Structure 1
């Protein structure tokens, strides 16, 4: 039934006011929702995973390059992974204490330390690296191609690495620093195979030995580590390089072979440096502006082509490691950052 006119007139302002309040309330709710969405977007941007850069060194022997790499880490804030060959903790006089699977005692494809003083200097650098937050990983001992080694043979190689590391100070005439025993027995969790040469025996031994990850395989481009198995697998990526942008393993030795056939050509050192740096930059930018998969770059404690690749590394690390949302980290830190909190190891 329609309202009487006076009541209708009195009701109109109330109805209009109610409608206005409803409209304002709806607008306020929408504004709050928009604000929340914008805030969520900003938070999403802030919570976007850092671009991880993993820089590693195989061999880790030359004491001069130990000092150079530690200085680079200090300048840039980068944390490196050093894949150590254990024969560099054995002096030549003691070389027969090591026997690689299938080889006679005292054999090594990369030699031994020249003397005990050289070993002690290296041990000091290893300890400094560990205390500075860098990671020490295993590269085995004698740098043999173990693709055909059995699980048992690999376990023997791993056991020798562990024993050499644990006893290195005393075997070379010095007392270890406090904490060395714990370091040598509990912190070596990663491995890279010499020549990146893997096989069923290796992967079986990695798990049996309690290692956390392997960094020996190769992928077509940057990929996240495969964590579907007990031992995570990292793969060095192929990256585009050179005028023709042909793919190449992101490692200094592979660049050395491409640029000069594996023969020293210091006259073109600057050219090779620029090519390497351009490849590193392009691979980084592609991930940093894209899917942000970890970018891995591998190096050796050898200056090839007049130091071209070390200089490229130093320039690259100086450019990217201090950028916002970029983290130059060790392999173990990368696993921790990418793993669900429930799967992270206890500290």
Structure 2
């Protein structure tokens, strides 16, 4: 099942494109009551025993303690060159027959990478329960991404739980993926609050809503896990931010295309601004947004099945675009590189291949860290504010004057 997510485009003059999609629905009813601690049966993906779990509510989620496989965030030493962070993020994060969720989890394991999965809440809700979803400014049960089959809801829930145990972050892509005149760009902070609350409810009550009895509880408390998201079509950030700040979120990745610079906080210092980025687009004088859909749109327009004779060239162009963005940062200001994707087989799956090639190409390079947004934020928040200001002052493609030891105030003898 293919789904085409409509997105704001940055394509050197290309405008917003229309979008289609296939998806899932949602349900409502977390009571937040916690049961007595129980030992969940089974083990993690690598065969180690699961920690004792305190089940939450109906047992759909649980508190299993600190997330496994998380790096310690430490401040830079004086004069130390910063790492090159790369964030691979996924919008929707539903598992279909193509098993792309599973494919990229395995890729991450093979290369010591962590990613962020922006889960659409409706991907945990059967279509038969769609009347539980009350989207802002739309009829009950409406959804521009449809609903997943029960089989795919089941597969998605399993993938989400296993991904978290492997160290990946579970964020949110909200629910119905509404864009344009009736989309989130016109929603009030209160309507965004309702959308978030419902997304959390669907994830935290999948057991009641699906009736599945053969899946373990998700190993995290989503009320604590959820610290950021990305809006459908990159629309509605203005209405979302007050609600996100009030909820204590740490970041937002809904910006319509940022420069490759070090992140700064916005919304009165409450949130880190972590948008997709403008990166070089080989063969063109303009830049493209660092997301598979936007690259595709500049190659085959809104068609997800373009000229197959061009697939090889398009895949190379997509990969080289990501690598050009990476190299611009890696060799100069070391700004975190942010890439967005969808689990889709557009144009024969070339964008999945391109992002896999990109990850493999950068993973083994010195000082490169493949992290989730949560991990990036944790690193940013332990840095000396004066050091961060120096990093933020560097423009895209700008190297630090005098080298890193001089620029960040350390002895000239260490790492230039």
Same fold (TM over 0.5): yes
Q: 5+ unaligned residues in a row in structure 2: which ranges?
A: 1-76, 386-416
Distance in 2 (alpha carbons) for counterparts of 1:160 and 1:73 = 30
Does 2:263 match 1:225? yes
**What does residue range 58-97 of structure 1 map to in structure 2 within 5 Å?**
58-63=91-96, 64-97=99-132
More helix by share: 1
Relative to structure 1, the CA distance from residue 103 to residue 275 in structure 2 (aligned partners, 3 Å threshold; closer, same or farther) is same
- Structure 1 residues 71-80 or 129-138, which shifts more? 71-80
Figure out how many residues of one structure are paired with residues of the other and give that number: 298
Distance in 2 (alpha carbons) for counterparts of 1:135 and 1:124 = 15
Does the aligned pair in 1 maintain the 2:319–2:355 contact within 8 Å?
Answer: yes
Does the aligned pair in 1 maintain the 2:264–2:272 contact within 8 Å?
Answer: yes
Task: Name the SS of the counterpart of 1:53 in structure 2.
Answer: strand
Does 2:278 match 1:238? yes
Shift of 1:91: 1.1
Shift of 1:44: 6.3
Relative to structure 1, the CA distance from residue 239 to residue 342 in structure 2 (aligned partners, 3 Å threshold; closer, same or farther) is closer
In structure 2, the partner of 1:281 is: 323
Does the aligned pair in 1 maintain the 2:254–2:275 contact within 8 Å?
Answer: yes
- In the alignment, which of 176, 187, 204 is matched to residue 149 of structure 1? 187
Does the aligned pair in 2 maintain the 1:198–1:217 contact within 8 Å?
Answer: no
Task: Name the SS of the counterpart of 1:120 in structure 2.
Answer: helix
In structure 1, the partner of 2:298 is: 258
Task: Name the SS of the counterpart of 2:197 in structure 1.
Answer: helix
- C-alpha offsets along residues 162-190 of structure 1, whole Å, 9 cap, x if unaligned? 1111011332123563564x432211111
Task: Name the SS of the counterpart of 2:203 in structure 1.
Answer: helix
- In the alignment, which of 227, 232, 238 is matched to residue 200 of structure 1? 238
Does the aligned pair in 2 maintain the 1:56–1:81 contact within 8 Å?
Answer: yes
In structure 1, the partner of 2:359 is: 317
Distance in 1 (alpha carbons) for counterparts of 2:383 and 2:325 = 29
Which structure carries more relative contact order (alpha carbon 8 Å, separation 6+)? 2
Q: 5+ unaligned residues in a row in structure 1: which ranges?
A: 1-42
Shift of 1:220: 4.5
RMSD: 1.8
Distance in 1 (alpha carbons) for counterparts of 2:166 and 2:312 = 32
Does the aligned pair in 2 maintain the 1:223–1:235 contact within 8 Å?
Answer: no
- C-alpha offsets along residues 93-122 of structure 1, whole Å, 9 cap, x if unaligned? 11111110111111101011212x321211
- Structure 1 residues 261-270 or 250-259, which shifts more? 261-270
TM-score by length of 2: 0.68
**What does residue range 36-55 of structure 1 map to in structure 2 within 5 Å?**
47-55=80-88
Does 2:343 match 1:301? yes
TM-score by length of 1: 0.82
**What does residue range 20-35 of structure 1 map to in structure 2 within 5 Å?**
none
Task: Name the SS of the counterpart of 1:147 in structure 2.
Answer: helix
Task: Name the SS of the counterpart of 2:295 in structure 1.
Answer: helix
Does 2:154 match 1:124? no
